[in-house]
Amino acid sequence: MHPDLQEIILSEEQIQRRVAELGRQITRDYQDRHLLTIGILRGAVIFLADLIRHLDLPVAVDFMAVSSYGQATASSGVVRILKDLDETVTGRHVLLVEDIIDTGLTLSYLVDNLRSRRPASLRICTLLDKPSRRKVEITPDYNGFTIPDRFVVGYGLDYAENYRQLPYIGVLKPEVYRR
């Protein structure tokens, strides 16, 4: 375990098992359709890469980069698109892949933005959901794990661009982010 962590809440094995389950469920739901997956940079990269390896259907990949946290530990609620899509979503089946849903503010903005582009369908897949922090009503169609309100890092999630490479998800010690 990394020395900056209090505890590991999701092991590498738990994560990989659940990602495979999500892949099977998404494959069933999108059978005979071409799927456009949109990963939200940077946090969702590892999750998306693992997830699409479990999809047994035609899949395209694109990315959006947004900013709502900066160096902070909580979303500001102000969302800026730093990188927009290269692919068009109009008339396509879209799966928005996110690392974590916290307040829901960023994701709600992205969903509204993507819906305005008229996809055939739009669903949300998240690795982690923290419903206790929700400020807007948004529910993922596919959810890896529901977690309590703790500051987590690893498997793509970061604090100040650190810890993304950890193969598990752990709770960051408060003294690390209060420095």
> What are the boundaries of each domain within the chain?
12-147
pLDDT at 3 over 90: yes
Q: pLDDT tens digit string along 150-170?
A: 999 999 999 999 999 999 999
pLDDT at 17 over 70: yes
Whole-angstrom distance, CA of residue 90 vs CA of residue 63? 16
Selection from 17, 34, 177, 9 nearest residue 100 by Cα: 9
| 102 catalytic residue (yes or no) | yes
Reduced 3-state DSSP string for 53-97: CCCCCCEEEEEEEEECCCCCCCCCCCCEEEECCCCCCCCCEEEEE
What tokens appear for 142 in the block? 């596919």
CATH class of 12-147: alpha beta
- Please give the pLDDT value at position 179: 74
- Please give the pLDDT value at position 69: 55
Q: Provide mean pLDDT across the span 66-82.
A: 68
Catalytic residue among 102, 112, 129, 149: 102
Position 92 confidence tier, pLDDT thresholds 50, 70, 90? very high
